[in-house]
Amino acid sequence: MPTWTSPPQLVALAALYAQAQAHPETISDAAFIEAVKAAHWPTNCWSYVEASFAIIAPACLLRPHLTAELIALPIAAMIAGGLDDAGQVIAIGLDCATRDAPYVEVSEDGKRWLTQVWPGLGEVVENVFQARLQAALADDDDE
């Protein structure tokens, strides 16, 4: 699991991941999702994408049934950053796993998930991307 030493929200999340790994029954899915979301912070879209992949990858490894909900976080940021091709999403995630100077360091477990599991999630990624894109377009129509 991650061994982040800063910022404080990542230190707290690393402790939650360790607890979820050792005693998964002590943390509900709702509390787990809220903790993952709370670990994100405001930044530009593409730095958010990098940070989000580092944050969600261990979470997806620990709770694979929450993957679609968790990957919506970086995908929404990609769309906000102008991405309109779901076919690029997997490659962007892989790039985050292998970047030399990442915005947020990806843990070894996170790298394993991003390089071994993430590439096989094309259909899930496509579905989440389309849903988030439609939501973003609907938000634009409302303004």
Report domain extents, the chain.
42-142
Judge whether 117 and 68 are in contact, CB under 8 Å: no
106 C-beta neighbours (distance < 10 Å), count: 25
CA angle 74, 77, 83 (to 5 degrees): 105
Tally the C-alpha atoms within 13 A of residue 84's C-alpha that lie toward its C-beta.
Answer: 2
**Residue 143's pLDDT is what?**
60
Amino acid at 63: R
Cα separation, 113 vs 59, in Å, equals 10
**Residue 139's pLDDT is what?**
79
Q: Return the closest-CA partner of residue 2 out of 22, 18, 19.
A: 18
29 C-beta neighbours (distance < 10 Å), count: 12
Share of the chain above pLDDT 90, in %: 88
The two structure tokens encoding residue 17: 């991941």
pTM summary value: 0.90
**Residue 1's pLDDT is what?**
77
Taking residues 44-65, report their average pLDDT.
96
The residue written with tokens 């730095």 in the block is 47
